[in-house]
Amino acid sequence: MDAQCLDEDGYLINPMDWDESWAEYFAQKENISLTPDHWDVIRFMRRHYEAHLIAPDARYSIRHLSERFGAEARNKLFELFPYGYVQQACRIAGMKRPRNWSTG
């Protein structure tokens, strides 16, 4: 992976440079083995970004997960990305580093 594509905190500078090999790379760095549930969240985040040109905050991803997990959606998100939505989910999904976000 080309380090010139990353900012000083390790996030992609241009989210449009992302592809699934980036997701695998970032997940490996976070010691996460991507499961279908991880990919569901990642692909939701990518669709949201492509439609709105902004990364979805955790509330949107939790709402997305609630379709399958109901009231446990918030817990599921943090089970999938235990070190945080911003640090792990956003990085793996190829988002720019979010500024001043709540984690959900």
In a domain, 18, yes or no: yes
pLDDT in tens, 27-77: 999 999 999 999 999 999 999 999 999 999 999 999 999 999 999 999 999
Q: How far apart are CA 104 and CA 97, in angstroms?
A: 16
In a domain, 100, yes or no: no
In a domain, 101, yes or no: no
Range of the domain at 36: 3-92
Place of tokens 């089970």: 79
Q: Tokens in use for 84?
A: 């945080």
In a domain, 99, yes or no: no
In a domain, 50, yes or no: yes
3-state class (DSSP) for residue 13: coil
Note the pTM of the prediction, 2 decimals.
0.90
User: How is residue 90 annotated by DSSP?
Assistant: I
HSE value, Cβ hemisphere, 13 Å, CA-based, for 97: 10
Question: Residue 94 in contact with residue 27, Cβ under 8 Å?
Answer: no
In a domain, 103, yes or no: no
In a domain, 82, yes or no: yes
In a domain, 17, yes or no: yes
